[in-house]
Structure 1
Amino acid sequence: MLRRVSQPGAPTAENLLLFFSPCGHHEASHRVVDHNLKMQKIPDVSIKRNKGLRRPEMGARPSRRRLPADQPMALDALPPELLVRVLSHVPPRALVTRCRAVCRAWRDVVDGPTVWLLQLARDRSAEGRALYAVAQRCPPNGEDEEFPLCALARYCLRSPLGRNLIFNSCGEQGFRGWEVEHGGNGWAVEKNLTLVPGAPSQTCFVTSFQWCFKRQLVDLVMEGVWQELLDSAQIEICVADWWGARENCGCIYRLRVRLLDVYENEVVKFSASPNPVLQWTERGCRQVSHVFTNFGKGIRYVSFEQYGRDTRSWVGHYGALVTHSSVRVRVRLS
């Protein structure tokens, strides 16, 4: 193997040649054109043996050669079963918005159930293990024309278990998300009179001197709970509401929660009618809660309905205060 070495002020490459053996070591003898070295008065450069490396003396710069970079591995060359496992480590939103558009093979993986089941299997909490067992027994039944994504993909994107499915539960966004009927001077939004534990905002809805009504319809399937999971008898729906009164005026409060089928027909309901709060009694917030279990098949919606008014018929907003309403879905562990 023949290499050329040049230095500042040295002769041209044609006048200085170093011969190397095929194994990379220097030959015992090397040839240098002495005539040009003497004419230009350039000191000789000695080449020493040093474990196969050449070390030019007199301040010669070391070689800056870089090792060739490893070639990136092409994921499209992976077998399908290995590609599914690799993509299962990608966050759900990136899978849907980025990976699905790469190619047809990746789209088929994202649209299928296997990659999402692998994501569910990584949740080793008690609820995660229970959900994975139910998902294997009651997988989504094919594709839904109403929703283009796989039902398991919607679940992983929305993460409905344990999350409050009521939107704007404390009135921090006014009346967005609620169907409202105003009585008297209508509904209003105010600051809480007392601290409500766990509330995302310390604000509340306030009623007036006539009956005020508001309702929110929660679509469980749209929130990510697939229909077969709802029909599995392993799901519980927990509802709760906080309410209270002003100290100087009494109030009346009512709560009704109905589970509806796909046609919004009532299947089962829960109603709460606490005793009215009297004037000049201790103010504070009270909680009403209920857990729906064994509610049968076909449930699709939760209708969360609140009523309130005051007991003195005063102009203004002296009626029942309601806040931190919640609808949560959980897997039964036993």
Structure 2
Amino acid sequence: MGASRSVDYKMDLDPYPDDILIVILSFVPARDLVRNCRRVNRHWRHLVDSPTLWRNKCEREWSSEPFRGALGVPNMNWQRASVKSPFSRNLIKNPCGKEGLQHWRTVDRGDGWVVENNRTDLEGSECQKSFVTSFSWCEKTQIVSLLKEGLWEEILDSYQPHICISDWFAGRDDCGCVYKISVELLAADRERVIDEFHENPDPIPQWNDESYHQVSHVFQDYGPGVRYVKFNHKGRDTQFWKGWYGSRITNSSVTVRFHKN
């Protein structure tokens, strides 16, 4: 038998009406639509620039609740929401130490920060690691640029989607610890505080079960001008032991969600 030959089949999409082409193109990854499909010809550029295509794509790829919420947003930028995905992901980078201390600005006191495997699993976490503090306050901060992450001025100022923050902390069974969190919504100058949240939970005592505790808050009706989220937390142990016996912090998150008007 002779060697089989592969045959490349090319399909000419131009004869199809625009509504069919929009459905077909909605299955193409967002970045490929912008980088490649849009450059095919003027007709395809017109289709890729169509809000209908991006709305169809969001409807197909999002769950029903966020899509219904997006329908209530005036002048919804469907293309930006699809390409940047600001409503479907954690905007905090390196939330549990998988990349060491990258993306965090740290203040290292005592023996500073380290990353260790969780001593007890945190259910639902994709990464079972934690940032671990020392015998004096260890502090770290990350500033999230909402515009760079895909949001836009009009939706932040007029619609004001909910900005949800969450953090998890635990202690070692043989050593007590304390933990604090501060989150600020900042204006474009990164200085003016528009809204803020602070929490100082009760210390975890020595001889505990090492379970994780969640701190969470939802910013809403915060007014116009928000452009950044400043996420700061810190911890230390209560026995002042050399090494890393203090608060174990992981799964920090900032998420943006639609709401009902």
Structure 1 length as normaliser, TM-score?
0.68
Q: 1:185 to 1:104 in 2, by over 3 A?
A: same
Q: Please state whether the residue corresponding to 1:186 is helix, strand or coil.
A: coil
Aligned partner (choices 21, 28, 42) of residue 90 of structure 1: 28
Deviation beyond 6 Å, 4+ runs, structure 1: 77-82
- Once the 2 structures are TM-superposed, how far is the Cα of residue 81 of structure 1 from its aligned partner? 7.2
Partner Cα separation in structure 2 for residue 279 and residue 80 of structure 1 = 67
- Once the 2 structures are TM-superposed, how far is the Cα of residue 157 of structure 1 from its aligned partner? 1.9
Higher mean C-alpha deviation, range 98-107 or range 237-246: 98-107
Partner Cα separation in structure 2 for residue 139 and residue 278 of structure 1 = 49
1:233–1:296 Cα contact (<8 Å) kept: no
How many residue pairs get matched? 250
- The answer for the alignment partner of 2:107 in structure 1 is 181
Aligned partner (choices 252, 257, 260) of residue 178 of structure 2: 252
2:97–2:129 Cα contact (<8 Å) kept: yes
- The answer for the alignment partner of 2:71 in structure 1 is 132
Residue 272, structure 1, aligned to residue 199, structure 2: yes
- The answer for the alignment partner of 1:117 in structure 2 is 55
Q: 1:324 to 1:72 in 2, by over 3 A?
A: closer
1:127–1:333 Cα contact (<8 Å) kept: no
Higher relative contact order (CA 8 A, sep 6+): 2
2:160–2:223 Cα contact (<8 Å) kept: no
Tell me, which stretches of 5 or more residues in structure 2 are unaligned? 1-9
Q: Please state whether the residue corresponding to 1:309 is helix, strand or coil.
A: strand
Q: Please state whether the residue corresponding to 1:232 is helix, strand or coil.
A: helix
Aligned partner (choices 306, 325, 332) of residue 252 of structure 2: 325
Partner Cα separation in structure 2 for residue 174 and residue 237 of structure 1 = 26
Q: 1:81 to 1:193 in 2, by over 3 A?
A: closer
Partner Cα separation in structure 2 for residue 105 and residue 132 of structure 1 = 27
Give the aligned CA root-mean-square deviation in angstroms: 2.4
- The answer for the alignment partner of 1:103 in structure 2 is 41
**Deviation string, structure 1 residues 4-63 (Cα, Å, up to 9, x no partner):** xxxxxxxxxxxxxxxxxxxxxxxxxxxxxxxxxxxxxxxxxxxxxxxxxxxxxxxxxxxx
Partner Cα separation in structure 2 for residue 109 and residue 205 of structure 1 = 47
Q: 1:113 to 1:226 in 2, by over 3 A?
A: farther
Aligned partner (choices 130, 155, 172) of residue 98 of structure 2: 172
1:24-35 alignment runs, 5 A limit: none
**Deviation string, structure 1 residues 102-126 (Cα, Å, up to 9, x no partner):** 1244334434544323433555713
Residue 301, structure 1, aligned to residue 238, structure 2: no
Partner Cα separation in structure 2 for residue 198 and residue 106 of structure 1 = 42
- The answer for the alignment partner of 2:86 in structure 1 is 160
- The answer for the alignment partner of 2:118 in structure 1 is 192
Residue 239, structure 1, aligned to residue 165, structure 2: yes
Identity of aligned residues (%): 43
